[in-house]
Amino acid sequence: MSFTIGSGDTQFRGPGQMMRTMGQEQERKAFNLKTLLRLLVFLEPHWQRMLLAFFLMLVSSGLTLLTPYLIKIAIDRHIIQGDLAGLGRIALLTAAAFVALAFSTAGQQYILSWVGHRVLYTLRADLVRHLQRLHLGYHDTHIIGVTLSRVINDVEVINHFLSDGLINLVGDSLILVGILTVMILLSPSLALVTFSVLPLMILATTLFSRRAKVAYSTTRSRVAAVVGDLAENLAGMRVIQAFAREQSSREKFDRVNRENRDAHVRAMSLAFMFLPAVEFLGILAMAIVLGFGGYSVIRGAISIGTVVAYLSYVTRFFAPIREISQIYTTMQASMAGGEKVIELLESEPRIRDAPDAVQLQEIRGKVELRRVCFVYDGAPVLHDVDLVVEPGTTVALVGRTGAGKTTVANLVMRFYDVTSGALFIDGIDVRRISQVSLRSRMGLVSQDPFLFTGTVADNIRFGSPRAPMEAVRRAAQAANAHGFISRLPSGYDTQVQEGGVNLSSGQRQLICIARAILAEPGVIILDEATASVDTLTETLIQEALERLFSGRTAIVIAHRLTTVQNADLIYVLEEGRIVEAGRHEQLLSRGGIYRELYDKQFIDKEAE
C-alpha cells in the first residue's frame, strides 16, 4: 500500500514494518516520570474530586489497619476476661468500622469512576482535535488502524492507571507501611520472624518487573498491529475479493493476531506466575506466625489476641502486594501506551497559521505560483513552477501520471507548504492566510468522491450545514443530481451507507458536486472527477461542472483531455515542470507532449 504525491512515492508504514520496530518499543522505560507528569495534566481539572478520593482512601486505609487491632482488644480484654458488656461495645465499634470502610471504599470508587470517564473523554477529544490539526502527510504515512489503537486502546489503559491505579497505589503503599509499623509495635520479635519472607518477595518482584517491562510494551504494539491490519483488510475488501486474495490476507491477519495472542499470553503468564508466588509467601508467613506465635503464647511472651491480629495483618499485608503487582502491570501498559499518545500529542503540525494570519472575507479567485519548488520526503516533486490563474477563468493541468498535477492542487489548498518560492491567492501569500478561511472559500471535487454516513441532504450540506432544504434542492438540480435523488427510497432523507456503497460512483460524484455548488466557493479544484464514470454520467457531470465553474476560478486536473478542451488555459506538466502552456488548439498545433498525450488517447479510444 503506497501513497503517491507528484512524482514521489512514499510507502505506508504497514504492520510488517511496525513489527520491525519492536526492538525500539521494548527499550521503553518501565516508569517514565516525564510521561507521567505529562499525563497528570489531564487530572488537573478534577483535582478537587481527586483530593476527596485521596481523603476517602486515607480513611479506608486507616480503617483497614484499625479492624484487626479491635479484634485483638476484643480477645485480650473482653473475651478472655469474660467482659460481655465490653465485648458488646467493641463489637459495635468493629461493626461501625466495617460499615465506614464499606462507605468510604464505595465513595472512593464512585469518584474515581466519575473522574475516569471524564479523563477518557478529554484524552480522546484532544487526540481527535490534534489529529485534525496535523498535516495530510501525517495521515498519508500512518496506518489508520494504528491511529485508532492509540485513540481507543492506549487511552483506555492510560485512563485506568490515572484515575484508579495511582490512588490505589498510594493507598496500598500506605497500608503496607502501616501494617509493618503496627506489627513491629505489637511484637518486634514476631515481626522479625515474619519478615523473613520479605527477601523472597523482593526477589520475586524484581524478576517480575524486569520481564513485565518488556512484555507489556510488546503487547501495546501487537494490539496496534492487529487493529492496523484489520482496518487495512476492511478498507481493501473490494480489492481482496477482486483478486481472490482472501486466503493470503487471512493468513497475514492470522500471523499478526497470533503474535498479539502470544504477546498477551507471555504477559499474563508473568502475572500468573507472580501471583501464586505471592500467595505462597503469604501462606508461608501465616505458618510462621502460627508456629512462632503459638510458641510465644505458650511461653507467655505475647497474648492470643496478638497472634490473631498478626494473622489478620499478614493476610492484609499480602493483599496490597497482589494489588500493587496488578497496578504495576497496568502501569507498564500505560507507560508504553502513554509514551505513544504523548508522542502523537506533541507531534507538531507542519502546516500552521501565522501569528498575524489574514482572515479572508471574500475571494476574487486569482491564483499565482511563483518559482514554486516542492520536495516530499526528500524527493523533488515540483521545480520552479510559474503558473497564473486569473479570476473567473478555467485552467487545466495535464500530464503523465506522477508529473505533479495533484501536488499543485494540494499546495493551492495548503494541504502542504511550498519548499521554496511562493503561492498567492488574490495577491496574498497563502502562508499568511488562516487555513479555515482559505479552505472555506475553496471547493474540492476529487476522483474518489467521499460521502459520510447520514442522509443525502446531510452530505450536500456538509460544507454549509445551516443551508435550508430549498437551497439543497437547488444545488442538487444544478449538479444534475435531483433526478436520481428523488427516485431513492427516501429521497433526500435516504441514509448513505458507509463509504456510499449504496450509490454508484457517478451518483456519489454528482452529490459531491452539489456539495461544492451549495458551498459557493470562490475557487474550485477538480481532481480527475470524471476518471471513473461511464460516458453518460460523464456528460451529466460535465454539464454540472459548467454550472459550478460559472463566474468562478477553476483548476481542473484531468487525464481525459477531451474534458479540458474548452479550458481558458492548459498547462502541461512533465516531471514536476511546466513544459507547455496554451489553449487546446494551440497545443495540438505545436506537436509537443500535449499532442502526444492526445493522440495516444484518441488511438486508445479507437481501439475500444
Q: Where residue 80 sits, what CATH number does that domain have?
A: 1.20.1560.10
328 lies in the same domain as 377: no
Residue 207's domain comprises: 42-346
Q: What sections of 347-450 are H helices per DSSP?
A: 405-412, 435-439
Contact 530, 541 (CB under 8 A): yes
The low-confidence residues of the chain, meaning pLDDT below 50, are 1-28, 606-608
Whether 76 maps to a domain, the answer reads yes
Q: In 347-424, which ranges are continuous DSSP H helix?
A: 405-412
In a domain, 449, yes or no: no
Q: Residue 531 has what pLDDT?
A: 58
Same domain, 383 and 306: no
pLDDT of residue 391: 92
In a domain, 255, yes or no: yes
Which grid coordinates are listed for 218? 510488546
* Residues 337 and 372 occupy one common structural domain: no
Any idea which residue has 476484643 for its cell?
74
Tell me the pTM: 0.65
- Total domains present in the chain: 2
Residues 368 and 342 in one domain: no
Residue 270 resides in a domain: yes
Q: Has residue 469 been placed in a domain?
A: no
Q: Is residue 489 part of a domain?
A: no
**Same domain flag for 299 and 399:** no
Same domain, 287 and 411: no
Rounded Cα gap, residues 214 and 209, in angstroms: 9
1 part of a folded domain:
no
Question: Are 144 and 242 in a shared domain?
Answer: yes
* Same domain as 202, residue 83: yes
Show Cβ contacts of residue 446 under 8 Å, excluding neighbours closer than 6 positions: 512, 527, 528, 529
Neighbours of 467 (CB within 10 A): 18
Question: Is the distance from CB of 569 to CB of 581 less than 8 angstroms?
Answer: yes
pLDDT at 209: 67
| Collapsed DSSP state (helix, strand, coil) of residue 21 | coil
- DSSP structural state of residue 429: E
Residues 6+ apart with CB under 8 A from 594: 398, 561, 570, 572, 580, 587, 588
The answer to whether position 18 is within a domain reads no
CATH of the domain at 407: 3.40.50.300
State whether 138 and 225 are in the same domain: yes
Question: Do 317 and 388 share a domain, yes or no?
Answer: no
Q: Which residues pair with 370 in a beta bridge?
A: 422
| Same domain assignment for residues 322 and 396 | no
In angstroms, how far is the first alpha carbon of the chain from the final one? Answer: 30
In terms of domains, do 398 and 258 share one?
Answer: no
